[in-house]
Chains A and B, each alone.
Chain A
Amino acid sequence: MGNADLSILIIDGSPDRAAVVERGLVEAGWVRVSTIGPSVNLLARIQALAPDVIIIDLENPDRDTLEQMFQVSRLVQRPIAMFVDQSDSQMIHAAIEAGVSAYVVDGLRQDRIKPIVETAVSRFNAFDRLRRERDEAQAKLQDRKLVERAKGLLMKNRGLSEEDAYTLMRRTAMKQNRKLADIAQSVITAFEMEL
């Protein structure tokens, strides 16, 4: 793809996400990709790597440091924020929304930067979606455990069948417009207080 010459640096507070973005870029044909985590001597690392493009998560506190470093340092070739060239506001908007910001060496053509930023944006989005799904799955598992426990308590202490215990909680939840897991939690708390 003729991308071998561009050096890309990924800085991300989340090492897992950095790895996902790095893999995405390498798979798409950029070979000179490196990542650095938080709390390192940024200037020294950036000097050593001399990146053409820096991808950094938007909320990274090191961005404030990074921007000033570019303004004062003669040691690094001066990258500028992608926002300065406003030729593609749609891309910029998508990047900010995904939590991606980018700095590029001045003079690098827009059409060479765009696919890199787009790849980073789609990887950020995919990573966040996966994390959300994982969190939701964990929450669901937690809810199911609560319901099982409450059902067990009702069966043991009220002599209900499994189905009746479940129906009782379901009906209460609907009547009170609350989540089944909340009702289960109340049942558990009630029985714990009786002990």
Chain B
Amino acid sequence: MAEIVKLGFAPLVDCAIPVVAAERGFATAEGIDLVLERSNSWAALRDKLAFGLVDGAHLLAPLALAMHRGIAGVPAVPLVVPVTLGLGNNAITLSASLYAAMVATAPEIMAGPPAQTAKALRPIIDAGRRAGRPPLSFAIVFPFSSHHYELLTWLSNGGIDAAREVNIGIVAPPRMVESLTQGWINGYCVGEPWNSLAEERRIGTIVASKADLQPGGVEKVLALRADWARQSRDRIRALIRAMIRATDWCLDPENHMELARLLAEPFYVGLPAELIASTLAKTGTTSYQCRPDQGQAVSLLADMVKAGQLDQQDMEDSAWLASVWDAHYYDLSLED
């Protein structure tokens, strides 16, 4: 009898692996009845996972660590990350008017390396302060997100003091484009397809991508409740095998158009397939990787310390990390 596994997800291109596992028969082939539940907000996904309404979720990688440590606004809940889901489709998008102002004041910087483009903000921020204008506002998707750390890196490369010179607020991914259109924010860092959508509508321009700022950093993971993961060795092996097969399917360029059409369905991302296909073409096969790598988690912890979310002490006593970022389930699932 098929085991029912409930996973939450957010409407983003990198929810592809669980979606493909459920929709293209990879889960069924492993004896798993994969039930996917969509959430439009990371707080909702967090709560459902923390209180056991789902067994696992497509989750921001640092949020998994924060939940495990009990600093994410809900009581600590032990989690296991047996597979990673998304690398490298975040990007920083600026409003068309801010981008135009930067090109006008510092064309040589804007023509240079994308990671350094925030240097062109300096004259604009200074002029704004002299004129008594409110500071520029940037949005990220959640405090515990690689988006947050990438935006901080970009600003710091430009010599901007993020804590004093700009506002950083939280906006859920499906609300980003609207917020930029309304002028509530001047730019954001989000996963695809929400950057490409802003470019397509000509309201924003992508200035730097994940590859420019934190190459190889992990963005999303599959996080499972540890109590659930430990209940059955067979079940978690079957689940991971389905995810690995789905990843292989996603990596095959032959399948990209079909993947785009699948993600375009209203229940998943709910945007045109052509747009999603163009983001898949952009990030290509580098965007999915599967085996959790301890080094990724350590660098996430360092980012969390830098952002003031975690104590240095926590970073040093990180023995707990091995129980969360646990590749042994992955390796186990490859054995016969």
Contacts and interface: CB of A to CB of B under 8 A. Distances in A.
A64 B43 contact: yes
A92 interface: yes
A144 B303 CA distance: 60
A60 B47 contact: no
A67 B171 contact: no
A83 interface: yes
A192 to B, nearest CB: 28
Interface string A53-86: 0000011111111011101000000000101101
Interface of B: 39-44, 47-48, 50-51, 53, 73-75, 141-143, 169-172, 174-175, 178
Contacts of A81: 73-74
Interface stretch (A93-101, A128-136, A168-176): A93-101
13 contacts: A58-B48, A59-B40, A59-B41, A60-B40, A61-B174, A62-B41, A63-B172, A64-B142, A68-B143, A81-B74, A83-B73, A84-B73, A101-B44
Contacts of B175: 61-62, 65
A188 B157 CA distance: 66
Nearest to B51: A96
Contact of B40 (A61, A67, A86): A61
Nearest to B182: A39
Given A59-B44, A83-B47, A65 B171 contact: yes
Contacts of B44: 58-60, 63, 101
Contacts of B178: 39
Contacts, number: 68
B172 A64 contact: yes
A63 B41 contact: yes
Contacts of B170: 64-65, 67-69
Nearest to A13: B40
A65 B73 contact: no
A68 B175 CA distance: 15
Contacts of B41: 59-64
Contact of B172 (A65, A69, A71, A93): A65
A92 B53 CA distance: 11
Contacts of B47: 58, 83, 96, 101
A63 B51 contact: no
The 10 nearest A-B residue pairs measured at CB:
A61-B172, A68-B170, A63-B43, A61-B40, A61-B41, A64-B172, A64-B170, A83-B74, A59-B44, A63-B41
A61 B175 CA distance: 7
B19 to A, nearest CB: 19
Nearest to A41: B184
Given A64-B171, A83-B47, A97 B53 contact: yes
